[in-house]
Amino acid sequence: MIRTAVVGGTGYTGVELLRLLAGHPGVELAVITSRSEAGRPVAELFPNLRGALELEFSVPDVALLKSCELVFFATPNGTAMSMVPELLEAGVRVIDLAADFRLRGPELWEQWYGMPHACPGYLEEAVYGLPEINREAVRAARIVANPGCYPTAVQLGLLPLVERQLVDLSHLVADAKSGVSGAGRKPATGTLLCEASENFKAYGVAGHRHLPEIRQGLEAAAGRPVGLTFVPHLTPMIRGIHATLYAQLLDRDTDLQSLYETRYRDEAFVDVMPAGCHPETRSVRGANHCRIALHRPQDGDVVVVLSVIDNLVKGAAGQAVQNMNIMFGLDEQAGLGGVALLP
């Protein structure tokens, strides 16, 4: 059993992580921290965990965290980087679900997240935890930077095209929509029922924090600079991401369906649907899957890729558990066998 801790278990990502870990056959969940909820039973705050978790929230204590083999950080950006060096020095492995270790350069981090990085020396060591690209590196990693939700959907959707450089890499377009849970559990006017319900809007058009993360991943896959226009939208649903991706084909004769099926043939959590399908967010609700479908409207030279994930599962907690399984030599699908919820 892997002795684990979750730091910051009170947000939507945190409770989703607790749900998955509580049902994992290879995990001993030993510590769940929250300064604001210290001393309160976890199942009192999240009744869905009644009978599954008997722990109470505790104040973050590095000495206690050092007794674990693995620590998950489900905390706001900027929190993990203040604690990670001491944990790594103690031999504890870390999976950070926030953005603290996703970007390679400390200057880039400061530009997009508005604060200096507390431990820039660890940015190069951190492994970007998209298993479909970095599985072997994740296996040996001390610290894994769990990808963001939009970057997961967009990168998995474009990866086969970018790796083979079959499209114009200077003009990629990602039009993505997310459920309101992506904004987190902290109260905010924009996510109130009367504001978000029966409403649809774009945001972050001038530049969203996930843009440099997506670009970094695509450029690594391509081995050259990539031009990307990324526009996120907020939709009146709780969870789910739908990314509609556009690219100009350089070779119209390529069998794109075969390309994608071959690339993801051995990936348990990527489902390439039959050509012309329209994947729906509800088909991945609660599941650690990315469903992808390909289109070439009017048989033209533009390929349209549709990519859907649950932002809280494959876009966050489920992917973190997938990374844990890889790091500790477990079955990669352990604890992640749940079927999506319909309706």
Domain edges within the chain: 2-125, 149-310
What distance in Å separates the CA atoms of residue 84 and residue 39, rounded to the nearest whole number?
Answer: 24
Which residue did the predictor score with more confidence, 144 or 190? Answer: 144
Residue (of 124, 319, 150, 135) closest to 228 by Cα position = 150
Which pTM was predicted? 0.97
Catalytic pick among 68, 149, 194, 290: 149
User: What local confidence, expressed as pLDDT, does residue 249 receive?
Assistant: 97
- Which ranges of 55-177 does DSSP label H, i.e. alpha helix? 62-65, 84-89, 106-113, 131-140, 149-163
Q: How far is CA 50 from the centre of its chain?
A: 26
User: What local confidence, expressed as pLDDT, does residue 185 receive?
Assistant: 87
pLDDT at 186 over 90: no
Arithmetic mean of pLDDT, 53-58: 95
pLDDT 10s digits, 292-324? 999 999 999 999 999 999 999 999 999 999 999
Pick the CATH number of 149-310 from 3.40.50.170, 3.30.360.10, 3.40.50.300, 3.40.190.10: 3.30.360.10
Arithmetic mean of pLDDT, 102-111: 96
Arithmetic mean of pLDDT, 131-151: 98
What distance in Å separates the CA atoms of residue 286 and residue 127, rounded to the nearest whole number?
Answer: 25
Average pLDDT of the chain? 96
pLDDT at 102 over 90: yes
- According to CATH, the superfamily of the domain at 2-125 is NAD(P)-binding Rossmann-like Domain (3.40.50.720)
149 belongs to the catalytic site: yes
